[in-house]
Structure 1
Amino acid sequence: MDMLYKVFIEPFVFMGEAPDLLIQTLWEGLVSGVLYALIALGFVLIFKASGVFNFAQGIMVVFAALILVGLYEKGVPAFLALILAALAMLVLAMVVERVVLRPLVNQPDIILFMATFGLTYFLIGFGELIFGGNPREMITEQLFLPQGTTEIGAFGGSIRLQHLDIAAAIIASIMIGLLAVFFSKTRIGRALRAVADSHKAALSVGISLNQIWVIVWFAAGIVALVAGIMWGARSGVSFSLQIIALKALPVLILGGFTSIPGAIIGGLIVGVGEKLGEFYWGPLVGGGVETWLAYVIALLFLLYRPQGLFGEKIIERI
Protein backbone atom coordinates (compact mmCIF):
# COMPACT_ATOMS: atom_id res chain seq x y z
CA MET A 1 0.00 0.00 0.00
CA ASP A 2 2.84 2.34 0.89
CA MET A 3 4.50 1.64 -2.46
CA LEU A 4 1.27 2.39 -4.35
CA TYR A 5 1.06 5.73 -2.53
CA LYS A 6 4.65 6.61 -3.45
CA VAL A 7 4.10 5.70 -7.11
CA PHE A 8 0.60 6.99 -7.86
CA ILE A 9 -0.10 9.72 -5.31
CA GLU A 10 3.01 11.21 -3.69
CA PRO A 11 4.60 12.58 -6.92
CA PHE A 12 1.38 14.43 -7.79
CA VAL A 13 1.11 15.82 -4.27
CA PHE A 14 4.68 17.07 -4.64
CA MET A 15 3.78 18.68 -7.98
CA GLY A 16 0.94 20.58 -6.31
CA GLU A 17 3.05 21.63 -3.32
CA ALA A 18 6.00 22.86 -5.43
CA PRO A 19 4.60 24.16 -8.73
CA ASP A 20 7.80 26.10 -9.45
CA LEU A 21 9.75 22.81 -9.56
CA LEU A 22 7.09 21.32 -11.83
CA ILE A 23 7.38 24.23 -14.27
CA GLN A 24 11.18 24.01 -14.14
CA THR A 25 10.98 20.30 -14.99
CA LEU A 26 8.46 20.90 -17.77
CA TRP A 27 10.66 23.61 -19.28
CA GLU A 28 13.74 21.38 -19.31
CA GLY A 29 11.65 18.59 -20.85
CA LEU A 30 10.29 20.98 -23.47
CA VAL A 31 13.79 22.00 -24.56
CA SER A 32 14.97 18.38 -24.73
CA GLY A 33 11.80 17.44 -26.60
CA VAL A 34 12.27 20.11 -29.27
CA LEU A 35 15.87 18.97 -29.80
CA TYR A 36 14.77 15.33 -30.00
CA ALA A 37 12.18 16.37 -32.59
CA LEU A 38 14.90 18.13 -34.62
CA ILE A 39 17.03 14.99 -34.69
CA ALA A 40 13.97 12.91 -35.54
CA LEU A 41 13.31 15.10 -38.57
CA GLY A 42 16.67 14.05 -39.97
CA PHE A 43 15.44 10.45 -39.81
CA VAL A 44 12.10 11.45 -41.35
CA LEU A 45 13.87 13.10 -44.28
CA ILE A 46 15.75 9.92 -45.18
CA PHE A 47 12.75 7.68 -44.56
CA LYS A 48 10.56 9.78 -46.84
CA ALA A 49 13.14 9.56 -49.62
CA SER A 50 13.97 5.87 -49.37
CA GLY A 51 11.45 4.20 -47.07
CA VAL A 52 14.35 3.03 -44.89
CA PHE A 53 15.34 3.98 -41.34
CA ASN A 54 18.75 5.68 -41.52
CA PHE A 55 20.69 4.23 -38.62
CA ALA A 56 23.62 6.53 -39.48
CA GLN A 57 21.76 9.74 -38.55
CA GLY A 58 22.97 9.53 -34.96
CA ILE A 59 26.64 9.40 -35.89
CA MET A 60 26.07 12.13 -38.50
CA VAL A 61 25.14 14.44 -35.61
CA VAL A 62 28.46 13.64 -33.91
CA PHE A 63 30.46 13.75 -37.15
CA ALA A 64 29.12 17.17 -38.16
CA ALA A 65 29.85 18.62 -34.72
CA LEU A 66 33.38 17.15 -34.72
CA ILE A 67 34.12 18.67 -38.13
CA LEU A 68 33.03 22.09 -36.88
CA VAL A 69 35.05 21.93 -33.66
CA GLY A 70 38.02 20.27 -35.36
CA LEU A 71 38.26 22.99 -38.03
CA TYR A 72 38.09 25.70 -35.37
CA GLU A 73 40.88 24.03 -33.40
CA LYS A 74 43.00 24.10 -36.58
CA GLY A 75 42.68 27.89 -36.69
CA VAL A 76 39.68 28.29 -39.00
CA PRO A 77 37.36 31.15 -37.90
CA ALA A 78 34.15 29.90 -36.30
CA PHE A 79 31.66 30.95 -38.98
CA LEU A 80 33.93 29.83 -41.81
CA ALA A 81 34.25 26.49 -40.00
CA LEU A 82 30.44 26.36 -39.85
CA ILE A 83 30.19 26.87 -43.62
CA LEU A 84 32.89 24.29 -44.29
CA ALA A 85 31.13 21.80 -42.00
CA ALA A 86 27.94 22.30 -44.03
CA LEU A 87 29.91 21.72 -47.24
CA ALA A 88 31.37 18.57 -45.70
CA MET A 89 27.80 17.33 -45.19
CA LEU A 90 27.15 18.01 -48.90
CA VAL A 91 30.24 15.99 -49.85
CA LEU A 92 29.11 13.19 -47.55
CA ALA A 93 25.66 13.22 -49.19
CA MET A 94 27.20 12.97 -52.66
CA VAL A 95 29.52 10.13 -51.62
CA VAL A 96 26.69 8.19 -49.93
CA GLU A 97 24.49 8.58 -53.00
CA ARG A 98 27.21 7.48 -55.42
CA VAL A 99 28.84 4.69 -53.41
CA VAL A 100 26.03 3.33 -51.22
CA LEU A 101 22.59 4.19 -52.57
CA ARG A 102 22.94 4.15 -56.37
CA PRO A 103 24.07 0.49 -56.55
CA LEU A 104 21.16 -0.52 -54.28
CA VAL A 105 18.24 1.00 -56.21
CA ASN A 106 15.15 -1.27 -55.99
CA GLN A 107 16.84 -3.59 -53.50
CA PRO A 108 14.84 -4.78 -50.45
CA ASP A 109 14.53 -2.28 -47.60
CA ILE A 110 16.59 -4.47 -45.28
CA ILE A 111 19.55 -4.16 -47.66
CA LEU A 112 19.39 -0.36 -47.55
CA PHE A 113 19.02 -0.44 -43.78
CA MET A 114 22.11 -2.62 -43.40
CA ALA A 115 23.96 -0.22 -45.70
CA THR A 116 23.22 2.66 -43.30
CA PHE A 117 24.29 0.40 -40.43
CA GLY A 118 27.64 -0.15 -42.16
CA LEU A 119 27.91 3.58 -42.88
CA THR A 120 27.52 4.24 -39.15
CA TYR A 121 30.56 2.17 -38.21
CA PHE A 122 32.58 3.57 -41.09
CA LEU A 123 31.92 7.13 -39.86
CA ILE A 124 32.78 6.12 -36.30
CA GLY A 125 36.12 4.65 -37.39
CA PHE A 126 36.87 7.48 -39.81
CA GLY A 127 35.92 10.09 -37.20
CA GLU A 128 38.16 8.52 -34.54
CA LEU A 129 41.00 8.33 -37.06
CA ILE A 130 40.71 12.03 -37.95
CA PHE A 131 39.61 13.61 -34.67
CA GLY A 132 40.59 11.06 -32.02
CA GLY A 133 38.29 9.79 -29.31
CA ASN A 134 38.65 12.55 -26.71
CA PRO A 135 35.59 14.68 -25.87
CA ARG A 136 35.61 18.31 -27.05
CA GLU A 137 33.79 21.46 -26.07
CA MET A 138 31.40 23.10 -28.51
CA ILE A 139 32.43 26.60 -29.60
CA THR A 140 29.32 28.24 -28.22
CA GLU A 141 30.80 31.68 -27.50
CA GLN A 142 32.52 31.85 -30.90
CA LEU A 143 29.18 31.13 -32.60
CA PHE A 144 27.58 33.86 -30.45
CA LEU A 145 25.24 31.45 -28.71
CA PRO A 146 24.01 33.13 -25.52
CA GLN A 147 25.36 32.19 -22.11
CA GLY A 148 24.13 32.79 -18.60
CA THR A 149 20.88 32.27 -16.75
CA THR A 150 17.71 34.23 -16.10
CA GLU A 151 15.90 33.56 -12.84
CA ILE A 152 12.16 34.26 -12.67
CA GLY A 153 10.21 34.32 -9.43
CA ALA A 154 7.00 32.32 -9.65
CA PHE A 155 4.62 30.36 -7.37
CA GLY A 156 6.58 31.20 -4.27
CA GLY A 157 9.82 29.91 -5.75
CA SER A 158 12.01 30.56 -8.78
CA ILE A 159 12.46 29.18 -12.29
CA ARG A 160 15.92 29.19 -13.87
CA LEU A 161 16.07 29.57 -17.63
CA GLN A 162 19.40 28.88 -19.31
CA HIS A 163 19.90 31.34 -22.18
CA LEU A 164 21.45 28.54 -24.23
CA ASP A 165 18.30 26.44 -23.77
CA ILE A 166 16.12 29.32 -24.94
CA ALA A 167 18.29 29.79 -28.03
CA ALA A 168 18.31 26.05 -28.71
CA ALA A 169 14.51 25.84 -28.52
CA ILE A 170 14.09 28.84 -30.86
CA ILE A 171 16.65 27.66 -33.42
CA ALA A 172 15.29 24.10 -33.42
CA SER A 173 11.73 25.39 -33.82
CA ILE A 174 12.76 27.53 -36.80
CA MET A 175 14.49 24.56 -38.41
CA ILE A 176 11.42 22.38 -37.86
CA GLY A 177 9.19 25.05 -39.41
CA LEU A 178 11.45 25.41 -42.45
CA LEU A 179 11.52 21.65 -43.00
CA ALA A 180 7.74 21.45 -42.67
CA VAL A 181 7.37 24.07 -45.42
CA PHE A 182 10.00 22.28 -47.50
CA PHE A 183 8.06 19.02 -47.33
CA SER A 184 4.59 20.38 -47.93
CA LYS A 185 5.01 23.37 -50.26
CA THR A 186 7.92 22.63 -52.60
CA ARG A 187 8.24 20.49 -55.71
CA ILE A 188 11.17 18.65 -54.16
CA GLY A 189 9.04 17.81 -51.11
CA ARG A 190 6.38 16.25 -53.33
CA ALA A 191 9.07 14.38 -55.23
CA LEU A 192 10.36 12.98 -51.94
CA ARG A 193 6.97 11.46 -51.18
CA ALA A 194 6.81 9.95 -54.66
CA VAL A 195 10.26 8.39 -54.28
CA ALA A 196 9.31 6.93 -50.90
CA ASP A 197 6.18 5.33 -52.37
CA SER A 198 7.96 3.64 -55.28
CA HIS A 199 11.40 4.04 -56.84
CA LYS A 200 10.19 2.62 -60.16
CA ALA A 201 7.13 4.87 -60.32
CA ALA A 202 9.24 7.93 -59.49
CA LEU A 203 11.72 7.07 -62.25
CA SER A 204 8.86 6.55 -64.72
CA VAL A 205 7.63 10.14 -64.28
CA GLY A 206 11.11 11.65 -64.65
CA ILE A 207 12.14 12.10 -61.02
CA SER A 208 15.89 11.71 -60.61
CA LEU A 209 16.62 9.43 -57.68
CA ASN A 210 20.24 10.53 -57.66
CA GLN A 211 19.41 14.22 -57.26
CA ILE A 212 16.67 13.59 -54.70
CA TRP A 213 18.93 11.42 -52.58
CA VAL A 214 21.75 13.98 -52.62
CA ILE A 215 19.32 16.76 -51.65
CA VAL A 216 17.68 14.79 -48.88
CA TRP A 217 20.94 13.49 -47.39
CA PHE A 218 22.37 17.01 -47.51
CA ALA A 219 19.26 18.35 -45.75
CA ALA A 220 19.60 15.60 -43.16
CA GLY A 221 23.27 16.55 -42.78
CA ILE A 222 22.35 20.19 -42.10
CA VAL A 223 19.82 19.02 -39.52
CA ALA A 224 22.56 16.85 -37.99
CA LEU A 225 24.94 19.83 -37.90
CA VAL A 226 22.43 22.09 -36.11
CA ALA A 227 21.47 19.29 -33.71
CA GLY A 228 25.15 18.58 -33.06
CA ILE A 229 25.79 22.23 -32.21
CA MET A 230 22.83 22.42 -29.83
CA TRP A 231 23.43 19.09 -28.09
CA GLY A 232 27.19 19.63 -28.13
CA ALA A 233 26.75 22.95 -26.38
CA ARG A 234 24.68 21.23 -23.67
CA SER A 235 26.55 17.92 -23.29
CA GLY A 236 29.93 18.30 -25.00
CA VAL A 237 31.03 16.81 -28.32
CA SER A 238 31.95 13.12 -28.14
CA PHE A 239 30.97 9.86 -29.77
CA SER A 240 28.63 9.14 -26.85
CA LEU A 241 26.43 11.89 -28.28
CA GLN A 242 25.09 9.39 -30.81
CA ILE A 243 23.29 7.61 -27.93
CA ILE A 244 21.34 10.81 -27.33
CA ALA A 245 20.69 11.10 -31.05
CA LEU A 246 19.21 7.61 -31.15
CA LYS A 247 16.52 8.80 -28.71
CA ALA A 248 14.91 9.90 -31.97
CA LEU A 249 13.91 6.26 -32.54
CA PRO A 250 11.29 6.27 -29.74
CA VAL A 251 10.21 9.70 -30.99
CA LEU A 252 9.60 8.26 -34.46
CA ILE A 253 7.74 5.26 -33.07
CA LEU A 254 5.45 7.58 -31.12
CA GLY A 255 4.82 10.06 -33.92
CA GLY A 256 5.11 7.93 -37.05
CA PHE A 257 8.08 7.58 -39.37
CA THR A 258 6.66 9.83 -42.11
CA SER A 259 5.03 12.59 -40.09
CA ILE A 260 6.56 15.97 -39.25
CA PRO A 261 3.81 16.82 -36.72
CA GLY A 262 4.33 13.34 -35.29
CA ALA A 263 8.06 14.00 -34.84
CA ILE A 264 7.26 17.22 -32.97
CA ILE A 265 4.60 15.69 -30.70
CA GLY A 266 6.68 12.54 -30.16
CA GLY A 267 9.72 14.62 -29.25
CA LEU A 268 7.76 16.62 -26.69
CA ILE A 269 6.24 13.47 -25.17
CA VAL A 270 9.67 11.86 -24.80
CA GLY A 271 11.42 15.02 -23.59
CA VAL A 272 8.81 16.00 -21.01
CA GLY A 273 8.08 12.40 -20.00
CA GLU A 274 11.67 11.47 -19.22
CA LYS A 275 12.27 14.67 -17.21
CA LEU A 276 9.12 14.16 -15.15
CA GLY A 277 9.96 10.48 -14.69
CA GLU A 278 13.52 11.20 -13.57
CA PHE A 279 12.59 13.99 -11.15
CA TYR A 280 9.48 12.53 -9.52
CA TRP A 281 9.83 8.75 -9.91
CA GLY A 282 13.61 8.40 -10.27
CA PRO A 283 14.31 8.25 -6.52
CA LEU A 284 11.99 5.22 -6.22
CA VAL A 285 14.10 3.14 -8.62
CA GLY A 286 17.52 4.59 -7.86
CA GLY A 287 17.63 7.06 -10.76
CA GLY A 288 18.49 6.54 -14.40
CA VAL A 289 14.87 6.82 -15.58
CA GLU A 290 15.93 9.15 -18.42
CA THR A 291 18.00 6.40 -20.04
CA TRP A 292 15.15 3.90 -20.49
CA LEU A 293 11.73 5.54 -20.10
CA ALA A 294 11.53 6.66 -23.75
CA TYR A 295 12.04 3.08 -24.93
CA VAL A 296 9.38 1.76 -22.55
CA ILE A 297 6.90 4.31 -23.93
CA ALA A 298 7.89 3.30 -27.47
CA LEU A 299 7.36 -0.39 -26.62
CA LEU A 300 3.83 0.34 -25.40
CA PHE A 301 3.09 2.17 -28.65
CA LEU A 302 4.44 -0.75 -30.67
CA LEU A 303 2.08 -3.08 -28.83
CA TYR A 304 -1.08 -0.99 -29.18
CA ARG A 305 -0.49 1.50 -32.01
CA PRO A 306 2.52 0.40 -34.08
CA GLN A 307 1.95 3.05 -36.79
CA GLY A 308 2.36 5.86 -34.21
CA LEU A 309 0.09 8.79 -33.46
CA PHE A 310 0.20 10.27 -36.96
CA GLY A 311 1.44 7.33 -39.02
CA GLU A 312 -0.66 5.72 -41.71
CA LYS A 313 -2.12 2.27 -41.11
CA ILE A 314 -1.13 0.17 -44.11
CA ILE A 315 -3.37 -2.79 -44.98
CA GLU A 316 -1.95 -5.32 -47.45
CA ARG A 317 -4.31 -7.74 -49.16
CA ILE A 318 -3.01 -11.18 -49.98
Structure 2
Amino acid sequence: MSKIILKARAKVNLSLDVTGIREDGYHEMRMINHSIELADVLTFYPREQGIVLTSNEHTIPLDERNLVIKVALKLQNQFTIKRGAKIHLEKRIPAQAGLAGGSSDAAAALKGLNTLWQLGLSQSELLKIAVTIGADVPYCLVGGTALVEGIGEKITPIGDLRKMTILVVKPDIDIATPWAFKKLDNSIIKKHPDISALMALLKQDAYHELNEVVGNVFEAVAFADYPEIAAIKKEMLATGALASIMTGSGSTVIGYYADWELAVKMWQQFKEIYPLCFLSKTEESGGENYVE
Protein backbone atom coordinates (compact mmCIF):
# COMPACT_ATOMS: atom_id res chain seq x y z
CA MET A 1 0.00 0.00 0.00
CA SER A 2 1.74 3.15 -1.21
CA LYS A 3 -0.69 5.69 0.24
CA ILE A 4 -4.17 6.23 1.65
CA ILE A 5 -6.18 9.36 0.95
CA LEU A 6 -9.14 10.33 3.12
CA LYS A 7 -11.51 13.27 3.12
CA ALA A 8 -12.34 14.78 6.51
CA ARG A 9 -15.73 16.45 6.16
CA ALA A 10 -16.65 19.64 7.99
CA LYS A 11 -19.45 19.38 10.54
CA VAL A 12 -22.37 21.76 11.04
CA ASN A 13 -24.87 21.89 13.90
CA LEU A 14 -28.42 22.17 12.62
CA SER A 15 -29.40 22.55 16.27
CA LEU A 16 -27.35 22.49 19.46
CA ASP A 17 -28.40 22.37 23.10
CA VAL A 18 -26.48 22.01 26.36
CA THR A 19 -28.64 20.09 28.81
CA GLY A 20 -26.47 19.97 31.92
CA ILE A 21 -23.07 19.52 33.54
CA ARG A 22 -21.85 16.15 34.79
CA GLU A 23 -20.00 15.60 38.05
CA ASP A 24 -16.73 15.26 36.12
CA GLY A 25 -17.21 18.74 34.65
CA TYR A 26 -18.14 17.65 31.13
CA HIS A 27 -21.22 19.21 29.57
CA GLU A 28 -24.14 17.06 28.45
CA MET A 29 -25.17 17.93 24.89
CA ARG A 30 -28.08 17.22 22.58
CA MET A 31 -27.68 18.25 18.95
CA ILE A 32 -28.42 17.48 15.34
CA ASN A 33 -25.20 17.38 13.31
CA HIS A 34 -24.69 16.97 9.60
CA SER A 35 -21.75 16.82 7.21
CA ILE A 36 -21.12 19.27 4.40
CA GLU A 37 -19.06 18.83 1.24
CA LEU A 38 -16.23 21.06 2.49
CA ALA A 39 -13.39 18.80 3.60
CA ASP A 40 -9.75 18.63 4.60
CA VAL A 41 -7.75 15.94 2.80
CA LEU A 42 -5.31 13.66 4.63
CA THR A 43 -2.76 11.50 2.84
CA PHE A 44 -1.08 8.68 4.76
CA TYR A 45 2.25 7.14 3.67
CA PRO A 46 3.99 4.16 5.31
CA ARG A 47 7.21 4.93 7.19
CA GLU A 48 9.57 2.60 9.00
CA GLN A 49 9.40 4.56 12.23
CA GLY A 50 8.32 7.89 13.67
CA ILE A 51 5.31 10.08 12.94
CA VAL A 52 5.76 13.04 10.60
CA LEU A 53 2.95 15.52 9.95
CA THR A 54 3.12 18.15 7.21
CA SER A 55 0.53 20.65 6.04
CA ASN A 56 -0.16 23.40 3.53
CA GLU A 57 -1.38 25.57 6.44
CA HIS A 58 1.57 27.13 8.27
CA THR A 59 -0.50 28.39 11.23
CA ILE A 60 -1.46 24.99 12.63
CA PRO A 61 0.76 23.02 15.03
CA LEU A 62 2.41 19.89 13.65
CA ASP A 63 3.34 18.38 17.01
CA GLU A 64 1.32 16.73 19.80
CA ARG A 65 -0.96 19.78 20.00
CA ASN A 66 -2.46 18.57 16.72
CA LEU A 67 -5.14 15.90 17.17
CA VAL A 68 -3.77 13.93 14.21
CA ILE A 69 -0.48 13.41 16.06
CA LYS A 70 -2.38 12.71 19.27
CA VAL A 71 -4.32 9.94 17.52
CA ALA A 72 -1.18 8.42 15.97
CA LEU A 73 0.69 8.30 19.28
CA LYS A 74 -2.33 6.89 21.11
CA LEU A 75 -2.67 4.06 18.59
CA GLN A 76 1.05 3.33 18.69
CA ASN A 77 1.04 3.14 22.49
CA GLN A 78 -2.22 1.20 22.83
CA PHE A 79 -1.37 -1.44 20.22
CA THR A 80 2.45 -1.43 20.49
CA ILE A 81 2.93 -0.28 16.92
CA LYS A 82 6.57 0.02 15.91
CA ARG A 83 5.94 1.26 12.37
CA GLY A 84 5.61 4.95 11.64
CA ALA A 85 3.69 7.11 9.19
CA LYS A 86 4.03 10.29 7.21
CA ILE A 87 0.78 12.25 7.09
CA HIS A 88 0.10 15.28 4.92
CA LEU A 89 -2.85 17.44 5.94
CA GLU A 90 -4.37 19.64 3.23
CA LYS A 91 -6.34 22.18 5.30
CA ARG A 92 -9.48 23.60 3.73
CA ILE A 93 -11.74 23.87 6.78
CA PRO A 94 -11.12 27.17 8.62
CA ALA A 95 -9.94 26.93 12.22
CA GLN A 96 -11.93 28.19 15.25
CA ALA A 97 -15.04 28.39 13.11
CA GLY A 98 -17.30 25.82 14.76
CA LEU A 99 -16.87 23.43 11.81
CA ALA A 100 -14.99 20.70 13.73
CA GLY A 101 -12.01 20.71 11.37
CA GLY A 102 -9.60 19.37 13.97
CA SER A 103 -12.02 16.70 15.15
CA SER A 104 -12.74 15.59 11.59
CA ASP A 105 -9.00 15.33 10.93
CA ALA A 106 -8.66 13.20 14.07
CA ALA A 107 -11.45 10.88 12.89
CA ALA A 108 -9.77 10.55 9.49
CA ALA A 109 -6.49 9.76 11.26
CA LEU A 110 -8.17 6.94 13.19
CA LYS A 111 -9.54 5.47 9.95
CA GLY A 112 -6.38 6.01 7.92
CA LEU A 113 -3.94 4.59 10.45
CA ASN A 114 -6.27 1.67 11.21
CA THR A 115 -5.91 0.75 7.53
CA LEU A 116 -2.25 1.70 7.09
CA TRP A 117 -1.14 -0.30 10.12
CA GLN A 118 -3.66 -3.11 9.46
CA LEU A 119 -5.05 -2.95 13.00
CA GLY A 120 -8.41 -4.42 12.00
CA LEU A 121 -10.39 -2.26 14.45
CA SER A 122 -14.17 -2.18 14.00
CA GLN A 123 -16.09 1.08 14.00
CA SER A 124 -17.32 0.43 17.55
CA GLU A 125 -13.71 -0.05 18.68
CA LEU A 126 -12.66 3.14 16.89
CA LEU A 127 -15.54 5.02 18.55
CA LYS A 128 -14.29 4.01 22.00
CA ILE A 129 -10.92 5.54 21.17
CA ALA A 130 -12.49 8.58 19.50
CA VAL A 131 -14.37 9.66 22.63
CA THR A 132 -11.03 9.93 24.49
CA ILE A 133 -9.69 12.32 21.83
CA GLY A 134 -12.47 14.92 21.68
CA ALA A 135 -16.22 15.41 21.93
CA ASP A 136 -16.80 15.83 18.17
CA VAL A 137 -14.49 13.01 17.06
CA PRO A 138 -17.01 10.14 17.49
CA TYR A 139 -19.59 11.94 15.35
CA CYS A 140 -16.97 12.75 12.70
CA LEU A 141 -16.20 9.02 12.46
CA VAL A 142 -19.85 8.33 11.63
CA GLY A 143 -20.67 11.44 9.57
CA GLY A 144 -23.94 12.09 7.76
CA THR A 145 -26.92 13.47 9.67
CA ALA A 146 -27.27 12.30 13.27
CA LEU A 147 -28.68 13.00 16.70
CA VAL A 148 -25.68 13.35 19.03
CA GLU A 149 -26.09 13.19 22.81
CA GLY A 150 -24.15 12.85 26.05
CA ILE A 151 -20.60 14.17 25.70
CA GLY A 152 -20.62 13.24 22.03
CA GLU A 153 -20.49 9.47 22.44
CA LYS A 154 -24.18 8.70 21.79
CA ILE A 155 -24.79 8.88 18.04
CA THR A 156 -28.07 8.00 16.33
CA PRO A 157 -27.97 8.36 12.53
CA ILE A 158 -31.13 9.85 11.01
CA GLY A 159 -32.17 10.31 7.41
CA ASP A 160 -29.96 12.47 5.21
CA LEU A 161 -30.96 16.09 4.80
CA ARG A 162 -32.49 17.25 1.57
CA LYS A 163 -29.78 18.46 -0.81
CA MET A 164 -29.43 22.17 -0.10
CA THR A 165 -26.89 24.87 -0.82
CA ILE A 166 -25.17 26.18 2.28
CA LEU A 167 -23.70 29.65 2.60
CA VAL A 168 -20.89 29.70 5.17
CA VAL A 169 -19.83 33.09 6.55
CA LYS A 170 -17.12 33.49 9.19
CA PRO A 171 -16.55 37.03 10.45
CA ASP A 172 -13.12 38.04 11.74
CA ILE A 173 -14.05 36.80 15.20
CA ASP A 174 -12.49 33.76 16.88
CA ILE A 175 -14.46 32.24 19.74
CA ALA A 176 -12.67 29.74 21.93
CA THR A 177 -14.93 26.87 23.03
CA PRO A 178 -13.87 27.05 26.74
CA TRP A 179 -14.83 30.76 26.76
CA ALA A 180 -18.23 29.97 25.26
CA PHE A 181 -18.97 27.24 27.81
CA LYS A 182 -17.91 29.46 30.71
CA LYS A 183 -20.18 32.27 29.47
CA LEU A 184 -23.01 29.79 29.05
CA ASP A 185 -22.53 28.38 32.56
CA ASN A 186 -22.77 31.90 33.99
CA SER A 187 -25.86 32.87 31.97
CA ILE A 188 -29.58 32.28 32.30
CA ILE A 189 -30.73 30.80 29.00
CA LYS A 190 -34.39 31.59 28.45
CA LYS A 191 -34.91 29.46 25.35
CA HIS A 192 -33.48 26.08 24.44
CA PRO A 193 -33.81 24.63 20.94
CA ASP A 194 -36.50 21.98 20.51
CA ILE A 195 -34.46 19.09 19.12
CA SER A 196 -37.40 16.69 19.12
CA ALA A 197 -39.53 19.11 17.08
CA LEU A 198 -36.71 19.48 14.57
CA MET A 199 -36.39 15.71 14.16
CA ALA A 200 -40.14 15.45 13.55
CA LEU A 201 -40.01 18.24 10.98
CA LEU A 202 -37.16 16.56 9.09
CA LYS A 203 -39.06 13.28 9.08
CA GLN A 204 -42.08 15.08 7.60
CA ASP A 205 -39.88 16.83 5.00
CA ALA A 206 -41.41 20.14 6.14
CA TYR A 207 -38.42 22.29 5.24
CA HIS A 208 -40.51 25.44 4.88
CA GLU A 209 -40.79 25.40 8.69
CA LEU A 210 -37.07 24.77 9.25
CA ASN A 211 -36.18 28.15 10.73
CA GLU A 212 -38.97 27.92 13.32
CA VAL A 213 -37.32 25.00 15.10
CA VAL A 214 -33.54 25.22 14.53
CA GLY A 215 -31.49 26.80 17.30
CA ASN A 216 -28.14 26.98 19.04
CA VAL A 217 -27.96 27.68 22.75
CA PHE A 218 -24.55 29.35 22.26
CA GLU A 219 -26.13 32.11 20.15
CA ALA A 220 -27.43 33.83 23.29
CA VAL A 221 -23.94 34.36 24.71
CA ALA A 222 -22.14 34.93 21.40
CA PHE A 223 -24.62 37.51 20.12
CA ALA A 224 -24.40 39.47 23.38
CA ASP A 225 -20.65 40.01 23.01
CA TYR A 226 -20.47 39.94 19.22
CA PRO A 227 -23.60 41.54 17.68
CA GLU A 228 -21.97 41.27 14.25
CA ILE A 229 -22.67 37.53 14.29
CA ALA A 230 -26.37 38.17 14.97
CA ALA A 231 -26.44 40.72 12.13
CA ILE A 232 -25.14 38.13 9.65
CA LYS A 233 -27.86 35.68 10.66
CA LYS A 234 -30.54 38.37 10.42
CA GLU A 235 -29.39 39.37 6.93
CA MET A 236 -29.46 35.79 5.68
CA LEU A 237 -33.03 35.31 6.88
CA ALA A 238 -34.16 38.67 5.53
CA THR A 239 -32.86 37.80 2.07
CA GLY A 240 -34.44 34.41 1.57
CA ALA A 241 -32.57 31.71 3.50
CA LEU A 242 -34.75 28.76 4.56
CA ALA A 243 -32.96 28.88 7.90
CA SER A 244 -29.84 30.36 9.45
CA ILE A 245 -27.89 29.31 12.51
CA MET A 246 -24.54 29.92 14.18
CA THR A 247 -22.72 26.60 14.24
CA GLY A 248 -20.84 25.24 17.25
CA SER A 249 -19.70 27.87 19.72
CA GLY A 250 -19.24 30.29 16.80
CA SER A 251 -18.45 32.47 15.10
CA THR A 252 -19.44 30.92 11.75
CA VAL A 253 -23.00 31.46 10.54
CA ILE A 254 -24.70 29.02 8.16
CA GLY A 255 -27.51 29.86 5.76
CA TYR A 256 -29.59 27.12 4.09
CA TYR A 257 -30.89 27.83 0.59
CA ALA A 258 -33.22 25.88 -1.66
CA ASP A 259 -32.40 28.20 -4.57
CA TRP A 260 -28.84 27.92 -5.93
CA GLU A 261 -28.97 31.26 -7.76
CA LEU A 262 -30.12 33.08 -4.63
CA ALA A 263 -27.34 31.45 -2.63
CA VAL A 264 -24.77 32.61 -5.20
CA LYS A 265 -26.18 36.15 -5.11
CA MET A 266 -25.90 36.29 -1.32
CA TRP A 267 -22.42 34.80 -1.39
CA GLN A 268 -21.33 37.58 -3.76
CA GLN A 269 -22.72 40.18 -1.37
CA PHE A 270 -21.25 38.73 1.80
CA LYS A 271 -17.79 38.08 0.34
CA GLU A 272 -17.34 41.82 -0.23
CA ILE A 273 -17.32 42.20 3.56
CA TYR A 274 -16.16 38.79 4.76
CA PRO A 275 -13.26 37.17 2.86
CA LEU A 276 -13.87 33.87 4.64
CA CYS A 277 -17.16 33.20 2.90
CA PHE A 278 -18.00 30.27 0.65
CA LEU A 279 -20.72 27.98 -0.67
CA SER A 280 -21.03 24.28 0.04
CA LYS A 281 -23.75 21.64 0.02
CA THR A 282 -25.26 19.19 2.45
CA GLU A 283 -23.50 15.84 2.26
CA GLU A 284 -25.05 12.41 2.27
CA SER A 285 -23.80 9.76 4.70
CA GLY A 286 -21.32 7.30 3.30
CA GLY A 287 -19.56 9.78 1.04
CA GLU A 288 -16.98 11.05 3.47
CA ASN A 289 -13.79 9.39 2.23
CA TYR A 290 -12.00 7.51 -0.46
CA VAL A 291 -8.97 5.24 -0.42
CA GLU A 292 -6.12 4.72 -2.85
Normalised by the shorter chain, which TM-score bucket?
Answer: under 0.3
Larger radius of gyration: 1
> Could you say which structure has the higher helix fraction?
1
TM-score, normalising length: structure 1? 0.25
> Could you say which structure has the higher strand fraction?
2
Query: Which structure is higher in RCO with an 8 Å CA cutoff and minimum separation 6?
Result: 1
TM-score, normalising length: structure 2? 0.27
